[in-house]
Homo-oligomer: A and B are copies of this chain.
C-alpha cells in the first residue's frame, strides 16, 4: 500500500494507520458507526502478529488498554458516544496514572441511545473531561480520511511523548466515508518507557497508580499534571485556516463540519462576503491564541457545530468579548448543507459587517 493512493473508509484508515504507527494491541467492543475499525483490525492485527481482542464491554476494553499501556506497549481502543461514556472512569484512571494510549470516538447523535448518524455533541466530554477530576485528553479532530491517518500516527507519538491519553474525535460521516489516502513511509517515534511494568528484572519495582491517599501528594500530582497540560497547550496547538486573512466573518468549525463550512465560505465569497474559516485540529489544546488573533481582523465570528453549542464556549473564551460570536448548529445526526451555512454567514454579515 506504501506510497500508492488507496480508497479507504475513515474507520479502516484509522486501523491501518494504527498498525503503521506500531500499535501492538487493540481492545474494543462493537458499536455503530465505528464497527469497521474493529472489523478491519480483527483481520489485520493477527496478520501482523499483534493483538486484537474483542472485550466483553467498553469498560473492560478501556481497562485492558490501561493494563497493556502500563507495560509500555502502544495500544488503542475505539467506540462511539454511549460506549465512550462508559469508558469515563477508565479514562480518568489512565490520565491520572499518566499512561499513553489512543482512544477513538466516532461520534453519533445523543443523548442516550439517540441515533447512529454523525454528530459532534461529545465535544465537552472530550475536551473538559467527562470523567471525574482535573485531567485533560489531547483531542485531535481530523476532517478528512487522509487526516485520520496522519492524526492517528501523531496521536501515538503525542501519547508517548506526554504520557497522556489522546482522543481522536471523529463522527459518523468521517468514519463511514471513503477518500483516497496515502501511507507514507516513516519510523514511529520510539520513546523509552522506564516506568513500564514489565517485570522488575534488573531494576527497582515499578508501580502504575493513580492513588494518592495523602492530599498533599495528590495536590502535587495534580499540579504536575496541570504543568504538563500547560506545556501541551504551548507546544501542540494545531489548526488550519482558509481564506481567513481578510475575513470579516470568521467561521470556526472542526471535523466534517469544517469541510462543509469551507464550501460555504466559497459560496459566501462568491456573493461578495469576505468569509474565512479557522479549523481547530487540536480541540485540546484549543487554538485560543490563533482565534483571538484572527478575531482582531474580523467583524464577527460564527461557530458551526453538529451540536447544540459546545465548542462555541471555547471560541467565546478565546475572543473574550472583543467580537460577537454567533452559533449555528444541527443536532441528532442532521448535517447542515453548505447553502445553509452560507445563509448563516450572510446573516451574520448583515448584522455585523454592514454597519
Contact = CB atoms under 8 A, between A and B. Distances in A.
Contact of A132 (B107, B217, B308, B313): B107
B115 A96 contact: no
Interface stretch (A35-43, A208-216, A237-245): A208-216
Nearest to A319: B321
Contacts of A217: 332
Nearest to A218: B332
A257 to B, nearest CB: 15
Interface in A81-121: 81-82, 84-86, 88-89, 92-97, 107, 109-117, 119, 121
Contact of A96 (B110, B211, B331): B110
Given A219-B330, A321-B320, A92 B116 contact: no
- Copies of this chain present in the complex amount to 2
A85 B132 CA distance: 6
A54 interface: no
Given A308-B226, A316-B320, A218 B114 contact: yes
29 contacts: A85-B88, A85-B89, A85-B92, A85-B130, A88-B130, A92-B110, A96-B110, A96-B111, A109-B219, A110-B132, A110-B134, A111-B132, A115-B212, A119-B133, A121-B132, A124-B124, A124-B129, A125-B130, A130-B131, A218-B333, A221-B332, A222-B308, A222-B331, A223-B331, A226-B308, A313-B313, A316-B320, A320-B321, A321-B321
A222 B134 CA distance: 29
Nearest to A229: B308
Contacts of A322: 321
A348 B228 CA distance: 26
A317 interface: yes
- Most chain B CB within a 10 A radius of its CB, from A84, A116, A131: A131
A155 B220 CA distance: 36
Interface string A296-325: 000000000001111001001101111000
B124 A96 contact: no
A128 interface: yes
Contacts of A216: 332, 334
Contacts of A331: 134, 218-219, 222-223
A122 interface: yes
A169 to B, nearest CB: 12
A189 to B, nearest CB: 26
Contacts of A81: 132-133
B93 A112 contact: yes
Contact of A219 (B130, B135, B332): B332
Contacts of A316: 317, 320
Nearest to A220: B332
A82 to B, nearest CB: 5
A109 B219 CA distance: 9
A333 to B, nearest CB: 3
